[in-house]
Amino acid sequence: MLSCRVCGGNDLDLCIDLGLQPWCNNFLKREEIGSEPKYPLRVFYCNKCSTTQLDYTVKKEIMFGDHTYLSGITKSLSSHFKNIANITINNYFDSANKSAINVLDIGSNDGTQLKHFMDIGCNVLGVESSKTTSEIAKSNGIPTINKFFNKELAESIDGKFEIINAAGVFFHLEELHSVTEGIKHLLSEEGIFIVQFLYMKSIVDNIAFDQIYHEHLLYYNLKSISYLLELHGLEIFDAFLSPIHGGSMIAFVTHKNTKEKTYRLMKLIKQEEESNINKKSTYLDFSRKISDLRVRDLEYLGKAIEQGKKIYGFGAPVKGNTLLNYFNLGTETLQCLVEKNKLRKGLYSPGMHIPIVIEDELEDLPDIYYVLAWNFKKEILERNSSLIDSGIEFYFPINPSIFK
Ligand SMILES: [Zn+2]
C-alpha cells in the first residue's frame, strides 16, 4: 500500500499521470540510445498532510551518483546565491563575528553558494553526492564531503552550524526524515536553516508541469513543508518567494519556539489558504490544464512544421525532458537542443533522443526557438535581443507569471 513520504498516512489519491518516462537527467551517449529504462511518473495527493508527491522512486544511487548539473553556470543562479548569502547575514548575523559563523550546504553542487558565504568571511563546508561536481568545488577551494547527507553522516561531523542551507535538494530526498533529523542535530541553538524549494503553488499557477520529474519526489507548499519540519522540532519563521527556477520559496527555519513568525510569512500562509492550493481539487484541475497545454503546443508546432519552419529547442534542461516525453516531441519536430553546458556536448535527450548542440558551435539558426529553459526567460530575451530583432521567434511553452 502506498504511504505518504511525509506523514506516513495511507490515504493518497492519484492526481497527475505523465506516463512512463526515463529518468530525465540521464542524457545519453549515442551508443546508449534506446537502452534507457522508463518509470511511472505520477503525482499523488495526501489527504492527511496535503503533500503532493511521486509514488515511484528511482534509486538515489542511480540519480545522484554523478550528475552534470552545475549551479555556477548561469548568471542569474549565481547572483541568486549571492543574494541569499547577503540576506541571511544581514538579517540575522549583522553584528556577529563572521569568522565564528559556520555554514553547511547540503547538496552543495560546485560550491557556488558556499563561495558567497566564504567571501563574507564565514567558515564553510559542503556535502555533495556527485563526484564530478564535488571535485569541481574542491578545486575551487570549497571543503566538500563527497557523500549523501543523512542522519548518520550528520553525526560524524564535529561541531554545530549557525547556518545550514539546502537549495533544491529537499524534494529529492529518499531519506527524508533521516536528512531532517541530521539537520536538526547539526543546527546550533540559534542557528538558521535555509530551505529553498520549488514552490508547488508557483508550479500550479504557471502550469509548469515540467518541474515534475523523478528527482523531485516531493512538491511542497508552506503548509506541507511545515508539517514535515514540525515533526522534527523545527519550524519556519520567515519566508519569501523568489523567481529562481520559475518560482522558489526561500524559507528560514529554526528550532521550534525560538523566533516569532514574520508578517510576510503570515501573509504567504494566508495566500495559500485563500487559493485552495492545499486541496485535492486544485491538483485534478492542474492535470486538466496540463492536457490543454499539450493540445495547444502540438497545434502550434504542427502548423510551424507544415509551413516549413525549422525549430530548435532552446536549452536542454533536465526538466525539459518531462515536457518532451509527455508531448512526444522528437527530432521530427525539434532538430536539436541548443545548450550552454559543455558537459552535455554530443549527448542525446533521454526518451526522445534529440541531439544536443553547444551554443557556441551552432552552424545555423532556426526560425523558431522552442524554449525549454523558460525559467531564464528574462535573461534569454535580453541576451538574444539581436536574434529576436532579426526575426527569430522565441516561443515559451510555459510562461512564468512571476516575471509578468
Ligand atoms: Zn501525508
Cα(258) to centroid(ligand 1), Å = 26
Q: What is the C-alpha separation between 157 and 241, in angstroms, rounded?
A: 32
The predicted pLDDT at position 403 comes to 45
Cα(334) to centroid(ligand 1), Å = 39
> Does residue 159 sit in helix, strand or coil?
coil
371-386 tens-digit pLDDT: 999 988 888 999 999 9
Tell me if 41 sits within 8 A of 21, measured CB to CB: yes
- Co-location of 256 and 322 in the same domain: no
Q: What are phi and psi of 177, to 5 degrees?
A: -75, -35
- Co-location of 100 and 184 in the same domain: yes
- Read off the CATH number of the domain in which 330 is found: 3.40.50.720
- Co-location of 196 and 311 in the same domain: no
The alpha carbon torsion through 165, 171, 173, 178 (nearest 10 deg) reads: 60
Cα(166) to centroid(ligand 1), Å = 22
Residues of the chain with pLDDT under 70: 60-61, 63-75, 173, 401-404
Tell me if 25 sits within 8 A of 67, measured CB to CB: yes
- Co-location of 205 and 310 in the same domain: no
Last residue of a domain, one of 231, 250, 275: 275
The predicted pLDDT at position 338 comes to 97
Give the list of residues 6+ apart from residue 116 with CB closer than 8 angstroms, or none. 81, 82, 84, 85, 86
Burial 26-47 (b: 16+ CB within 10 A, else e): bbbeeeeeeebeeeebbbbbbe
Give the list of residues 6+ apart from residue 360 with CB closer than 8 angstroms, or none. none
Tell me if 85 sits within 8 A of 117, measured CB to CB: yes
Q: Could you tell me if residue 298 is inside a domain?
A: yes
Q: Could you tell me if residue 34 is inside a domain?
A: no
78-107 tens-digit pLDDT: 889 999 999 999 999 988 899 999 999 999
Per the structure, the complete domain to which residue 390 belongs is given by: 281-403
- Co-location of 250 and 285 in the same domain: no
The predicted pLDDT at position 404 comes to 41
- Co-location of 247 and 307 in the same domain: no
Domain total in the chain: 2
Q: Could you tell me if residue 19 is inside a domain?
A: no
Cα(280) to centroid(ligand 1), Å = 12
Last residue of a domain, one of 234, 255, 275: 275
Cα(104) to centroid(ligand 1), Å = 28
Cα(3) to centroid(ligand 1), Å = 8
- Co-location of 298 and 245 in the same domain: no
- Read off the CATH number of the domain in which 116 is found: 3.40.50.150
Q: What are the residue ranges of helices labelled H in 209-344?
A: 222-231, 263-275, 280-306, 320-327
Measured in whole angstroms, how far is the alpha carbon of residue 145 from the centre of its chain? 22
Cα(174) to centroid(ligand 1), Å = 15
Q: Could you tell me if residue 45 is inside a domain?
A: no
Cα(397) to centroid(ligand 1), Å = 32
Q: What is the C-alpha separation between 257 and 183, in angstroms, rounded?
A: 17
Cα(153) to centroid(ligand 1), Å = 26
Cα(120) to centroid(ligand 1), Å = 39
Q: Could you tell me if residue 349 is inside a domain?
A: yes
Cα(343) to centroid(ligand 1), Å = 38
Cα(69) to centroid(ligand 1), Å = 30
Cα(325) to centroid(ligand 1), Å = 29
DSSP per-residue letters across 35-78: ---EEEEEEEEETTT--EEES----HHHHHSS----GGG-HHHH
Cα(226) to centroid(ligand 1), Å = 12
Tell me if 15 sits within 8 A of 287, measured CB to CB: yes
Cα(399) to centroid(ligand 1), Å = 30
Q: Could you tell me if residue 68 is inside a domain?
A: yes
In one-letter notation, the amino acid at residue 144 is T
- Co-location of 298 and 234 in the same domain: no
Q: What is the helix (H) or strand (E) element at residue 358, kind and residue range?
A: strand 356-358
- Co-location of 286 and 264 in the same domain: no
The alpha carbon torsion through 127, 131, 133, 138 (nearest 10 deg) reads: 70
Q: Which residues of 133-281 form beta strands (DSSP E)?
A: 144-145, 161-167, 187-198, 218-219, 234-242, 248-255
Take residue 72 and report the three cell numbers written for it. Answer: 555556477
Cα(52) to centroid(ligand 1), Å = 8
- Co-location of 271 and 285 in the same domain: no
> Does residue 97 sit in helix, strand or coil?
coil
Cα(10) to centroid(ligand 1), Å = 8
Tell me if 331 sits within 8 A of 313, measured CB to CB: no
Cα(36) to centroid(ligand 1), Å = 31
Cα(404) to centroid(ligand 1), Å = 34
Cα(8) to centroid(ligand 1), Å = 6
Cα(228) to centroid(ligand 1), Å = 9
Last residue of a domain, one of 221, 250, 275: 275
3-state secondary structure 272-304: HHHHCCCCHHHHHHHHHHHHHHHHHHHHHHHHH
- Co-location of 179 and 317 in the same domain: no
Q: Could you tell me if residue 24 is inside a domain?
A: no
Q: What is the C-alpha separation between 57 and 344, in angstroms, rounded?
A: 25
Q: Could you tell me if residue 22 is inside a domain?
A: no
- Co-location of 176 and 85 in the same domain: yes
Cα(50) to centroid(ligand 1), Å = 6
Cα(284) to centroid(ligand 1), Å = 17
